[in-house]
């Protein structure tokens, strides 16, 4: 398997201090990769750089064999990288349908708008019912679904999800993980950032533990679940 995404020596920060320094990892095409780490470890920073929302101060990002370091969001979306951001960032005072249409503004996906809307509405019947309702008037779980659906509208090859389970009830979280697996089966490579370490590692083909802006451990999901460090630091065993 070849790497769809690879990150080498990545450095990024805000103003003065670097939040990420010398970070390396690669995600194989068609796999589910998971990033875990404590609060403030630099996970969000990393995925924002990959998605083009934040300019790195060093290192390289490669996607589908090409160097894309420091490319802006529109370019990355066009190439097939979509980030479903932490905190969802849906457009609260726009309808569900308008939110979804926003997901499809890149040229590639705009062509298939109608087909993709239908696909998303079959995947999330709840959103179809609420189609003309403001995004901000829905429950937290529904908003997270909307954020993912909006991401799907862009027809991603690599979908990055930053803490999609944050603040959701356990039952919804289970649904969410099921959905992620289903998307992966349909051919979308997944990079998942999670605090729900146990559940996400069970899902992971590859996993990376980040600490203080560096990858300190990596391996497949089950291996990491048995790792003493992971057990004490994240699973409380």
Ligand X SMILES: Nc1ncnc2c1ncn2[C@@H]1O[C@H](COP(=O)(O)OP(=O)(O)OP(=O)(O)O)[C@@H](O)[C@H]1O
CA distance 113 to 8: 35
CA distance 130 to 143: 11
Sign of the dihedral through C-alpha 178, 184, 187, 189: positive
Kindly state the number of chain residues that form the binding site for another protein, as judged by CB under 8 A: 26
- Give the shortest CB-196-to-another protein separation in angstroms: 22
Binding-site member from 37, 56, 85, 221 for another protein (CB under 8 A): 85
Run of H or E residues at 155: none
User: For residue 13, how many C-alpha atoms fall within 13 Å in the half-sphere facing its CB?
Assistant: 14
- Give the shortest CB-149-to-another protein separation in angstroms: 12
Binding-site member from 19, 32, 44, 144 for Mg ion (CB under 5 A): 44
3-state helix, strand, coil in the chain (%, to 5): 40, 25, 35
> Do the bridges between strand 58-63 and strand 66-67 make them parallel or antiparallel, or are there none, so unpaired?
antiparallel
**Using CB under 6 A, which of the segments 3-11, 38-46, 101-109, 168-176 binds ligand X?**
38-46
**Residues in 123-152 that interact with another protein by CB under 8 A:** 136, 150
- By CB under 6 A, tell whether 114 contacts ligand X: no
- By CB under 8 A, tell whether 101 contacts another protein: yes
Cβ closest to ligand X, residue 109 vs residue 173: 173
> Can you say how many angstroms the Cα of residue 219 is from the centroid of all Cα atoms in its chain?
19
Binding-site member from 5, 33, 34, 44 for ligand X (CB under 6 A): 44
∠ Cα 14 17 21 (to 5°): 95
- By CB under 6 A, tell whether 19 contacts ligand X: yes
Using alpha carbons, select from 153, 171, 173 the residue that is nearest to residue 163.
173
Q: Contact, 144 vs 152, CB < 8 A?
A: no
Q: Contact, 33 vs 206, CB < 8 A?
A: yes
Cβ closest to another protein, residue 102 vs residue 128: 102
Cβ closest to another protein, residue 53 vs residue 217: 53
Binding-site member from 20, 51, 120, 149 for another protein (CB under 8 A): 51
Q: Tell me how far CA of residue 155 lies from CA of 40, 70, 121, 228, in angstroms.
A: 30, 21, 15, 39
Q: Choosing among ligand X, Mg ion, another protein, none, which partner's interface includes residue 37 (Cβ < 5 to 8 Å by kind)?
A: ligand X
**Using CB under 8 A, which of the segments 6-14, 85-93, 199-207, 212-220 binds another protein?**
85-93
Binding site for ligand X (CB under 6 A): 14, 19, 37, 39-45, 86
Which residues make up the interface to another protein (CB under 8 A)? 51-53, 72-74, 77-78, 82-83, 85, 89-94, 98, 101-103, 105-106, 136, 150, 154
């Amino acid at each position: 398997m070849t790497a769809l995404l690879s990150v080498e020596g990545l450095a990024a920060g805000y103003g003065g201090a670097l939040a990420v320094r010398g970070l390396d990892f690669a995600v194989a095409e068609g796999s589910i990769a998971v990033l875990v780490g404590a609060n403030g470890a630099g996970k969000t920073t990393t995925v924002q750089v990959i998605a083009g929302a934040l300019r790195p101060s060093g290192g390289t990002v490669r996607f589908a064999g090409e160097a894309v370091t420091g490319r802006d969001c529109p370019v990355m979306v066009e190439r097939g990288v979509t980030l479903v951001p932490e905190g969802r960032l849906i457009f609260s005072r726009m309808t569900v349908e308008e939110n979804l249409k926003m997901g499809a503004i890149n040229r590639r996906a705009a062509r298939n708008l109608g087909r993709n809307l239908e696909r998303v509405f079959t995947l999330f019947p709840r959103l179809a019912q609420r189609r003309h309702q403001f995004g901000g008037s829905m429950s937290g779980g529904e908003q997270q679904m909307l954020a993912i659906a909006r991401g799907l509208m862009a027809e991603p090859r690599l979908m990055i999800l930053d803490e999609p389970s944050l603040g959701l009830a356990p039952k919804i979280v289970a649904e969410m993980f099921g959905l992620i697996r289903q998307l992966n089966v349909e051919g979308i490579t997944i990079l998942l950032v999670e605090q729900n370490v146990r559940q996400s590692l069970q899902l992971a083909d590859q996993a990376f533990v980040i600490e203080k802006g560096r990858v300190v451990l990596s391996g497949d999901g089950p291996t990491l679940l048995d790792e003493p460090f992971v057990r004490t630091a994240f699973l409380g065993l």
